[in-house]
């Protein structure tokens, strides 16, 4: 019988060697759309609104996938736990991070905060545009370009309701801007965390999110 010192030790649970196509699609789709709307497009433009609707669709898809997707993509695999997240960060800074079959606790907490901020940005964006779809925005801009400004006339039930609407839009605009800036901060924090953890684990954590299972078949 092998002594305790010579007995083989079971390897730790490894992070995913791949992420499924839906997780990869929503991850990179949201990342590109957020960056474009924050740094390139103009608020209220057809492109900005279209990307906003795309983000909303991708977020809804990811939330549904959190219930119906594979084990590592489900909410049950990475519940938000601030205490566990703090413990994981201490382990990471000490150079001995734990291994998890899905997102680690710090990454999981980041995911939920990011989703919440994304929902706020989307909701306030809908308020600012009056729920206008990309088709409606395109039609209004085409009408204005042809000289017909009637498409932009908003009927009001009175001064009181008009003032309330302006107040709501002003609040929504401020919240939208703060939440959008928060998304950029969280994205930068996420990138820094991935780099730090990849070095600590001596494992490329970006590759599985880009290639999926392609590198397994080689």
**Taking Cα atoms as reference points, which of 182, 184, 194, 177 lies closest to residue 43?**
177
Q: Which of 116, 66, 108 is nearest to 87 (CA)?
A: 108
Write down the pLDDT at residue 99: 79
* 136 vs 54 pLDDT, higher one: 54
pLDDT tens-digit map of 94-134: 877 777 888 899 999 999 999 999 999 999 999 999 888 88
Strands (DSSP E) found in 74-213: none
Residue 111 gets the label, from left (phi > 0), alpha (psi -120 to 50) or beta, of: alpha
Q: What pLDDT does 206 receive?
A: 85
Q: Kindly tell me if the per-residue pLDDT of 9 is higher than 60.
A: no
Geometric angle at alpha carbon 134, from 133 and 140, rounded to 5°: 90
Rounded Cα distance, 174 and 161, in Å? 20
Q: What is the C-alpha separation between 80 and 98, in angstroms, rounded?
A: 16
Q: Structure tokens of 68?
A: 């119906």
* Alpha-carbon distance values, 102 to 83, 111, 161, 189, 200 (Å): 17, 12, 49, 19, 17
**Residue pLDDT, tens place only, 27-41:** 999 999 999 999 999
Least confident residue range of 49-53, 142-146, 192-196, 207-211: 142-146
Work out whether the CA dihedral 142, 143, 145, 150 comes out positive or negative.
Answer: negative
**pLDDT tens for each residue of 123-137:** 999 999 988 888 888
The string of pLDDT tens digits covering residues 140-191 is 777 766 665 555 555 444 455 566 678 888 899 999 999 999 999 999 999 9
* Listed residue (152, 130, 133, 131) closest to 141, CA to CA: 152
The three-point CA angle 130-131-137 to 5° equals: 85
For 4, phi then psi, to 5°, come to -55, -30
pLDDT of the residue at 162: 64
Query: Looking at domain 21-149+166-211, which of 1.20.950, 2.30.30, 1.10.3470, 3.30.1380 is its CATH number?
Result: 1.20.950
CA distance 7 to 180: 53
Q: Which residue has the higher pLDDT, 11 or 111?
A: 111
DSSP secondary-structure letter at 17?
A: S
pTM of the complete model beyond 0.85: no
Distance CA 63, CA 59 (A): 6
Span 48-70, average pLDDT: 96
């Amino acid at each position: 019988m092998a002594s305790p010192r010579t007995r083989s030790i079971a390897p730790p649970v490894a992070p995913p060697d791949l992420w499924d196509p839906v997780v990869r699609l929503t991850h990179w789709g949201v990342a590109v759309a957020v960056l474009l709307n924050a740094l390139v497009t103009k608020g209220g433009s057809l492109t900005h609104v279209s990307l906003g609707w795309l983000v909303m669709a991708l977020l809804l898809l990811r939330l549904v996938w959190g219930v119906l997707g594979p084990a590592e993509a489900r909410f049950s695999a990475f519940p938000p736990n601030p205490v566990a997240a703090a413990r994981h960060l201490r382990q990471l800074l000490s150079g001995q991070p734990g291994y998890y079959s899905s997102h680690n606790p710090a990454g999981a907490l980041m995911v939920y905060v990011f989703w919440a901020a994304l929902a706020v940005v989307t909701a306030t964006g809908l308020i600012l545009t009056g729920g206008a779809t990309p088709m409606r925005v395109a039609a209004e801009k085409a009408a204005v370009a042809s000289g017909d400004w009637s498409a932009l006339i908003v009927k009001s039930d009175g001064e009181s309701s008009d003032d309330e609407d302006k107040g709501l839009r002003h609040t929504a605009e401020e919240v939208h801007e703060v939440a959008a800036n928060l998304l950029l901060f969280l994205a930068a924090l996420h990138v820094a965390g991935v780099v730090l953890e990849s070095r600590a684990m001596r494992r490329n954590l970006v590759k599985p999110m880009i290639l999926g299972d392609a590198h397994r078949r080689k």
